[in-house]
Chains A and B, each alone.
Chain A
Amino acid sequence: MKSNVLLIAALAITGGIAVWGLVDNAGLADTARYLVAMQFNSRAWFIMLSVTFMLVVTIGLAVSRFGRIRLGADDDRPEFSTVSWLTMLFAAGMGVGLLYWGTAEPITHYLVVIEAERPERASHAALFITNFHWGLHAWAIYALTGLVIAYFAFRRGQKMLVSTPLLAVFGDNRASHVIGWLADLLAIVAIAIGLGGSVAMGVFQVQEGVDALFGLEGSGAGMTLGIFVVLVLAFLLPLTVDLSHGMAVLSNTAMAIAGFLMIFLLLTGPTSFIMGTTLQALGEYLSNVLSHGFRTFTLMDERANDWFHAWTLTYMVWWLAWAPFVGVFIARISRGRTIREFVVGVLLVPTGFSVLWFGVFGSIGFFGIRGTDQRLLEVVTNNVSETTFFILDKFPLSTLTTALVVAAAFLFVVTSVVSAAFVLGMFSTGGDLDPSAKVKLSWGGVLGALGLVMILSGDIDSVKSIIALGALPFVFIVLLLVVCFLKALKSEPRET
């Protein structure tokens, strides 16, 4: 009964936001922007402190005696080989975002920094900040959430719910059930709205790709809706049957395409320039990543602060929004690993991959700017969704690579939504590991509707604000979960 109430409340809130967005899209976007700005103005320091705290705790756990604790019984061994585990982690980290922002994000930051710095400094600063957004801090948020979920599910044999650690620490009483219920609800809202943003970003990306493939110039709202409908059908269908194996194949295909694209561009592009720039970017990242986690830009002018809010803070909140969803995924594949193995794998491998990815895509952008072709800057400024295709067009086999990006973007969104509908179904039915098709379809529908809301908002900045609004309350929940987890660890015997 209680889980039914949760399901109804969660569907009502997320569905309500979707209806609000469909009826008064500008109103929702404006409200989101206003509330998010208020939070960011007053609590920027707290958000940065929280994510840095999570990174420090994650590393601290790996190097401490707790690093030897197994996520499962002491004699459990990992379910997947290390190679396939790492491949699946790649898949979790790879998403439509990397395809979308590969070149666009470094160039966007470059355009801001270039006003105060020389071009080479601006390029490095732009790559550094991009790596910061996609690197250790992001993965520490995922890793720690995943650790909490995996520890209580596999070592304590409890349900895979956000509320589980709270009940374990506060005991089985009314107050902890209320807090736990709220935590589950906030997690559901954060995931649903975050995934809606992904749907929108995927549709924007696919549409630009289709335009590029068929030489269409800004194909308009009809095409956007057409792509959206195809996408929704593609993810609703698998929800009605058990296609977990098929989904893994699709997700691996998308990942293989992304990996192929990166290697293709590295080899056919200015290889030594890319490798040189990437190596230096890695060095700058490693040297400055910790101190940058404490930067709040408070003493800088309004423009710098607006940029900091629109990018760094929004990203951190975005990772928090995805944390329960990605956390559950990472937890499910990590049974039997020690905390130390878990942290090393989840923090270092995807971060290393991101540094390489942005190194390749970013360097190619900077290489283009250094030459005579300045049109890339116009593309990034005027239509950021087109950036990846603009770059691919400069390379051999551009029709093939463009089609591959479209296919990968499509597959990433479909597989994300299908897994998200499963996690939302599980959370909203009290931890049922096999939620009914009806529940999953309801969530698929809500995710589609939220995606449509974000598409109607028309620009990526509104999408970011709406996601941030959904995810901000979750900052508090994640921190509470971490404290409950640390508290539970204290009861582990010394010689594990």
Chain B
Amino acid sequence: MTGTLVDTVMNVTVFAFIGFLVWVYLTDFGT
């Protein structure tokens, strides 16, 4: 029932990237 470590890492990086995109969209960088 458990997945592989590679699969988890590959997807966690994607989740982090999506979080990064949301952060970029919401943050005011003052530019």
A87 at the interface (CB under 8 A from B): no
> Is A39 a contact partner of B10 (Cβ separation < 8 A)?
yes
**With contact pairs A479-B21, A483-B24, A484-B24 given, residues A43 and B29 touching in the complex (Cβ less than 8 Å):** no
CB-defined contacts of B17 to chain A, threshold 8 Å: 476, 479
CB closest residue in chain B, given A39: B10
CA distance A170 to B7 in the complex (A): 31
**With contact pairs A41-B7, A169-B29 given, residues A46 and B14 touching in the complex (Cβ less than 8 Å):** yes
CB-defined contacts of A480 to chain B, threshold 8 Å: 21, 24
What class of interface size applies to chain B in its complex with A? 10 to 19
CB-defined contacts of A375 to chain B, threshold 8 Å: none
Give min CB distance, A2 to chain B, whole Å: 20
A487 at the interface (CB under 8 A from B): yes
Across the interface, A38 reaches (CB within 8 A) one of B6, B24, B25, B30, namely: B6
Give min CB distance, A479 to chain B, whole Å: 6
CB-defined contacts of B24 to chain A, threshold 8 Å: 169, 480, 483-484, 487
A171 at the interface (CB under 8 A from B): yes
A64 at the interface (CB under 8 A from B): no
CB-defined contacts of A484 to chain B, threshold 8 Å: 24
CB closest residue in chain A, given B25: A483
CA distance A479 to B14 in the complex (A): 12
Residues of B1-31 at the interface with A, using a CB-CB cut-off of 8 Å, are 6-7, 10-11, 14, 17, 21, 24-25, 29-31
CA distance A480 to B18 in the complex (A): 9
What class of interface size applies to chain A in its complex with B? 10 to 19
CA distance A43 to B16 in the complex (A): 13
CB-defined contacts of A476 to chain B, threshold 8 Å: 17
CB-defined contacts of B30 to chain A, threshold 8 Å: 171
Give min CB distance, B24 to chain A, whole Å: 5
**Contact digits for A462-496, partner B, Cβ 8 Å, 1 yes 0 no:** 00000000000000100110011011000000000
Most buried by A among B6, B7, B24: B24
Residues of A156-172 at the interface with B, using a CB-CB cut-off of 8 Å, are 168-171
> Is B21 a contact partner of A170 (Cβ separation < 8 A)?
no
Give min CB distance, B7 to chain A, whole Å: 5
CA distance A476 to B21 in the complex (A): 10
CA distance A484 to B17 in the complex (A): 14
> Is A171 a contact partner of B29 (Cβ separation < 8 A)?
yes
CB closest residue in chain A, given B14: A46
Give min CB distance, B12 to chain A, whole Å: 10
Across the interface, A169 reaches (CB within 8 A) one of B10, B11, B31, namely: B31
List, sorted by A's number, 25 A–B pairs whose CB atoms are closer than 8 Å.
A38-B10, A39-B10, A42-B6, A42-B7, A42-B10, A43-B10, A43-B11, A43-B14, A46-B14, A168-B31, A169-B24, A169-B29, A170-B29, A170-B31, A171-B30, A171-B31, A479-B17, A479-B21, A480-B21, A480-B24, A483-B21, A483-B25, A486-B25, A487-B24, A487-B25
